[in-house]
Amino acid sequence: MTNRMTRRAFCGSMAGTVGLATLPVRAAGPQTLTARVATAQIAPPQYAATEVWTYDGAVPGPVLRVPQGGRVSRRLVNELPVPTSIHWHGIRIDNAMDGVAGLTQEAVPPGGTFDYDFAVPDAGTYWYHAHSNSFEQVARGLSGALIVEEADAPEVDRDEVLVLDDWLLNPEDAQFMTPFGHPMSLSHGGRTGNLLGTNGTYDLASGVKANERLRLRLINASNARIFVLRLAGLEGWTVALDGMPLPEPQPVEAELILAPAQRIDLIVDVTAEEGETAALLRFDDDDQWQPQARFPVAGQASATRRDTPAALPPNPRMEVPGIDSARRLDMVMEGGAMGRMSGAMMNGRNMGFREMAGQGQFWALSGQVGMTDTPFASLDRGETVRLRLTNDTAFPHAMHLHGMHFRQVAGDGTLGPMRDTILSYPDELLEIAFVADNPGKWLFHCHMLGHAASGMTTWINVS
């Protein structure tokens, strides 16, 4: 005690006398996020390091944390050899900051910068990623977590961000297989990796204590993989989807499905005992449950488990009123391998499927391949919209709306949880509803990024 006191007094006197004189003045200017080439040991240690594209040298990029209602202010510095931009996925953002190259901004050329500065109205788990040639840039590593913290956060012992990803590497040299837009993956399920991992490593292990309470923020940053997940030695609740709180915590009893770009917030207790290993398991390509992330248990946080957690505080503007009188829209997803589509409109003319395929395009939304000058729909600011989505393809698609969250409309008219990305299975008919309360040009696209690049991208206008 005496020792500590003495040291403290010493430090105090240092700060009082020398500190002011020697502390460097903090350089003026914005905080940066630098996109640059680096190497990372994402494969097991017997393999070489992989050349990756990063934010600030790391895969995934740094975890950005900001209080709800605060601002994210970052200068993107592009040190990549190609143009890029950053999309802040799931943030109900000012349109000019949405980061979609060619729609909301010009791509930032090599050597260039762009100042992102926006408010974050909603607490929750979000992420940021490249939105310029995304199917290549995200696959090379350009993504990271954006955590918006509740003023009144639930009580947990630890808050862990788990960015789930896969990488398609050449086993000979552990470098990315190219091309990123291989026609076979574009026209089928998309680019899936042969190495899976979490937070940039193939075998994430994070020590925990028995009965410890964790908040796990799962983010699927992969190009096209639908993660099927299960808990082992962990028991708990889903408390938020795509950043948005559920009205009540939902006990995790079945498998969790995490489509590309989706997020799940869990609050879990470590029920495994000391010496055991708890885990987040995934259902693997070879039909086995494999650890996606491991949690070796050492020590004990408490003798017993705690009570069910309270729901997260709701975010603003979560209601979707007036669905009975809403404007109705219909969209059909078409194309792909083994599909029924014979052709679609592309670059202003009707094209046969074979000719489309010759130009690397395989998909259409309601008969239109990719972006056009006119939006799929022009919406009045504030109106409620119901959009029916028919999946007339042989593949699942994870459809993402920028700028606004939506709720699924069930057959009986009830509304599901609020999300920004919804998984649609082959031959399925889904309906979503949202309030078009955010003005601007908003992308609506498949988040299987190869699909988005080969026809499954459109946009809506809200004014």
Name which of 360, 391, 365, 384 is nearest 376 in CA terms: 365
Least distance from Cu ion to the Cβ atom of residue 451, Å: 3
Name the residue nearer to Cu ion (CB basis): 129 or 209.
129
Task: Quote the least distance from Cβ 393 to Cu ion, whole Å.
Answer: 8
**Considering the rule CB under 5 A, would residue 446 count as an interface residue with Cu ion?**
yes
3-state DSSP call for residue 247? strand
Residue 408 half-sphere exposure toward CB, CA atoms < 13 A? 15
CA–CA separation, 71 vs 57, rounded Å? 23
- Cβ distance to Cu ion smaller for residue 191 or 213: 191
Write the interaction track for Cu ion spanning residues 281-300; mark x where CB under 5 A is met and - where it is not: --------------------
Query: Is residue 225 a contact point for Cu ion (CB under 5 A)?
Result: no
Q: Is 448 in the site for Cu ion (CB under 5 A)?
A: yes
- Separation of alpha carbons 96 and 270, rounded Å: 43
Residue type, 285: D
Q: Give me the helices (H) in 150-233, please.
A: 183-187
Question: In whole angstroms, what is the distance from residue 50 CA to residue 36 CA?
Answer: 14
Bridge partners (DSSP) of residue 149 are 67
x/- letters, 10..39, toward Cu ion (CB under 5 A): ------------------------------
Residue 336 and residue 456: Cα distance in Å, rounded? Answer: 10
Quote the least distance from Cβ 438 to Cu ion, whole Å.
24
Rank residues 92 and 451 by Cβ distance to Cu ion and give the closer one: 451
- Interaction between residue 188 and Cu ion (CB under 5 A): no
Residue 315 beta carbon to Cu ion: minimum distance, rounded to whole angstroms: 28
Q: List binders of Cu ion among 373-402 (CB under 5 A).
A: 397
Half-sphere exposure of 61 (CA within 13 A, CB side): 31
By the rule CB under 5 A, 451 interacts with Cu ion: yes
E-only strand ranges, 134-220: 143-149, 158-167, 195-198, 204-205, 208-210, 213-220
How many residues bind Cu ion (CB under 5 A)? The answer is: 4
Site for Cu ion in 309-328 (CB under 5 A): none
Q: Binding of Cu ion at residue 445 (CB under 5 A)?
A: no
DSSP H stretches of helix in 132-290: 134-137, 183-187
Compare residues 147 and 448 and give the one whose CB is closer to Cu ion. 448
Q: Is 245 helix (H, G, I), strand (E, B) or coil?
A: strand
Name the one range near Cu ion by CB under 5 A: 73-81, 255-263, 309-317, 451-459: 451-459
Cβ proximity to Cu ion: between 241 and 446 the closer is 446
Closest distance of CB 267 from Cu ion, Å: 31
Q: Determine if 423 is a binding residue for Cu ion (CB under 5 A).
A: no
Within 10 angstroms of residue 64's Cβ, the number of other Cβ atoms is 20
Q: Which is nearer to Cu ion, 218 or 446 (CB)?
A: 446
Q: Which is nearer to Cu ion, 86 or 446 (CB)?
A: 446
Of the pair 294, 445, the CB lying nearest Cu ion is at 445
**Residue 84 DSSP label:** B
Interface ranges with Cu ion (CB under 5 A): 397, 446, 448, 451
